[in-house]
Structure 1
Amino acid sequence: MADKIESNGGPMQIDVKLVRDLAKMLDQTNLTEIEVADGERRIRVAREPAPQAASFVATAPMAAPALASIPAPAATPAPVAAAVAPQADANAVKSPMVGTVYLASEPSAPPFVSVGDTVKAGQTLLIVEAMKVMNPITAPAAGTVKAVFVENGQPVEYDQPLIVVA
């Protein structure tokens, strides 16, 4: 079903169901925009990204509860956390693409790595799914997992720090 919507260049046929489906897809995947092209016709649906929580350094194993349920330590001043983050990011493995991160090979499996684990160069740390393709993210060098910045099933952006191996 197509509705006529007037634009500056004259009438344009828009498939309202397609636009609604694309908007629903944005909600389901937590993406901020999606664009579809069919010949010369292009439809782009975008939304403002949700405000991000302040960055933090994860020191707990992957089975830790969600960020919202972690109580903030009362005695730790904020400048200390800010001083640790840049140092941790220097060795951070970053996402090579936009997608969804998975910390294990399947939902019932244990995570590939946890904080404190020793890893070898080339060892799988996690998976980033993009367009139904599972992309293993491997350790660039041998070391110890110092922090994990993402949760299982979380959407990630290009160049977003995922895990620190030092």
Structure 2
Amino acid sequence: MDIKQIQDLIRFVSKSGVNEVSIEQTDFKITIKTNQAPTIVNATIPAAAPGIQQPATPVAHAHTPAQTEGPAAADVSKYVTIKSPMIGTFYRSASPDKPNFVNVGDEIQAGSVLCIIEAMKLFNEIESEVSGRIVKVLVDNSSPVEYDQPLFLVEPM
């Protein structure tokens, strides 16, 4: 299994709402766990398959917090979207007992630390590239994020 197939598997697991996936082949074993609430999905991956196959049964997608409804969704064009530069786990603070780096309504400057994304046991501080005011946090704390996934909406100054 190459890195592309592993990344595809991580994307599939985070989007499907599955809590844990474990694959074992002759030369390796991989287990992917998320912090999402458990969802039961029946998936069949043939043992002789050279790569990752799509599930044999349809997967029910849960409502994600990034989706917005009503009038708030209508006027997002004036906001700057700050996106994840990597795949990993999103954290709003440096540790559970510390305050969040930013909250809705906070004014930020370019270079301000917004969050941390943990990737392969490395904690990466994500800094703002714009100055403005945080309008919305699009990801829940301790949630898995994908490359280029929207994290924050910022009203530029």
TM-score range, shorter chain: 0.5 to 0.7
2:100 corresponds in structure 1 to: 111
The yes-or-no answer on 1:80 pairing with 2:93 is: no
TM-score of the pair, normalised by structure 1: 0.58
Q: Is the 8 A contact 2:34 2:144 kept in 1?
A: no
Deviations 1:45-102 (A, max 9, x none): 6776762525435xxxxxxxxxxxxxxxxxxxx5524313x426x5010001111000
The yes-or-no answer on 1:15 pairing with 2:57 is: no
- 1:154 aligns with one of 120, 133, 143: 143
The yes-or-no answer on 1:56 pairing with 2:67 is: yes
RMSD, matched Cα: 2.9
Cα separation, partners in 2 of 1:133 and 1:51, compared to 1, 3 Å: same
Cα separation, partners in 2 of 1:47 and 1:124, compared to 1, 3 Å: farther
How many equivalent pairs are there? 115
Equivalent-residue separation in structure 1 for 2:117 and 2:97 (angstroms)? 17
**Contiguous gaps of at least 5 residues in structure 1:** 1-13, 31-42, 58-77
Cα separation, partners in 2 of 1:116 and 1:97, compared to 1, 3 Å: same
Q: Tell me by how many angstroms 1:29 deviates.
A: 6.6
Q: Tell me by how many angstroms 1:141 deviates.
A: 1.7
Q: In structure 2, the residue corresponding to 1:80 is in which secondary structure?
A: helix
What is the percentage of aligned positions where both structures have the same residue?
36
Q: In structure 1, the residue corresponding to 2:74 is in which secondary structure?
A: helix
Q: For the pair shown, which has the larger CA radius of gyration, 1 or 2? A: 1
1:27 corresponds in structure 2 to: 33
**Contiguous gaps of at least 5 residues in structure 2:** 1-24, 37-49
